[in-house]
């Protein structure tokens, strides 16, 4: 593989599809989680990911969603607003044979906050919140996840954001389990406690 194609792709780092590459578009705000961050995250989730239902908001490249499926997640809901990124996600779903007909993954091309603004059709074990760094949507998404019943009682929530960002507005029943930092990225794992 050429340097150019490696630069514009990410590698799945574990599970059934280990070593496979996903293309990454050069889009403003699209910043896939690095291999190092994903390796740490999925080490944290190693006992929870198998047979889980996951919600990948702000899916972008789909790195977190596809990594989850590779490691045995039962189902992943991908939500992405950008049409070009959505089309790439759709192609990757076909490549890995995880479209809606296999009941392993679904893709919604819409704003994540609008998606969460409706009553939940299902609840999730694991939620990935990794919006563009310049956005200010983490607290809004967190509130809607709670108020519209998107989370199972003991759900796990992953947040990745700019390391300078404060996470003061999160629900009181989200207890921080883990945290890490790589460069300008800070990442956290929270455990929800049912109210």
Range 89-107 average pLDDT: 86
CATH of the domain at 163: 3.40.50.150
| 3 state SS of 116 | helix
Beta strands 21-23 and 185-192 are unpaired
Tens-place pLDDT, residues 111-143 = 999 999 999 989 999 999 999 887 889 999 999
Using the 8-state DSSP alphabet, how is residue 29 labeled?
A: T
pLDDT band at 4 (very low <50, low <70, confident <90, very high): very low
* H or E, element range at 175: strand 174-182
The predicted model scores a pTM of 0.91
Over 90: is that where the pLDDT of 178 sits?
yes
14 in Cβ contact with 67 (< 8 Å) = yes
Q: Say which residues have a Cβ less than 8 Å from residue 183's Cβ, sequence separation at least 6.
A: 163
Tens-place pLDDT, residues 58-76 = 999 899 999 999 999 999 9
Over 60: is that where the pLDDT of 23 sits?
yes
Over 80: is that where the pLDDT of 33 sits?
no
What is the rounded CA–CA span in Å between residue 189 and residue 49? Answer: 13
Residues of the domain holding 17: 3-192
So what's the pLDDT on residue 27? 64
So what's the pLDDT on residue 144? 97
Structural tokens at position 150: 């998107």
Q: Say which residues have a Cβ less than 8 Å from residue 109's Cβ, sequence separation at least 6.
A: 80, 81, 83, 86
Over 80: is that where the pLDDT of 101 sits?
no
What is the rounded CA–CA span in Å between residue 137 and residue 134? Answer: 9
Total number of domains in the chain: 1
What is the rounded CA–CA span in Å between residue 56 and residue 107? Answer: 10
Over 70: is that where the pLDDT of 1 sits?
no
């Amino acid at each position: 593989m050429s340097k150019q194609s490696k630069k514009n792709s990410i590698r799945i780092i574990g599970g059934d599809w280990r070593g496979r590459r996903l293309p990454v578009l050069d889009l403003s705000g699209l910043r896939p989680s690095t291999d190092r961050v994903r390796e740490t995250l999925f080490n944290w989730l190693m006992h929870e990911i198998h047979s889980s239902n996951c919600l990948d908001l702000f899916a972008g490249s789909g790195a977190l969603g596809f990594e989850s499926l590779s490691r045995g997640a039962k189902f992943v809901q991908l939500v992405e607003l950008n049409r070009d990124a959505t089309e790439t996600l759709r192609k990757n779903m076909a490549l890995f044979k995880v479209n809606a007909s296999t009941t392993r993954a679904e893709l919604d091309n819409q704003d994540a906050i609008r998606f969460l603004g409706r009553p939940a059709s299902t609840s999730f074990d694991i939620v990935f919140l990794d919006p563009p760094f310049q956005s200010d949507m983490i607290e809004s998404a967190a509130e809607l996840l709670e108020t519209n019943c998107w989370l199972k009682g003991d759900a796990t929530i992953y947040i990745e954001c700019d390391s300078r960002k404060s996470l003061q507005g999160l629900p009181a029943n989200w207890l921080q389990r883990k945290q890490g930092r790589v460069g300008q990225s800070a990442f956290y794992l929270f455990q929800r406690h049912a109210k």
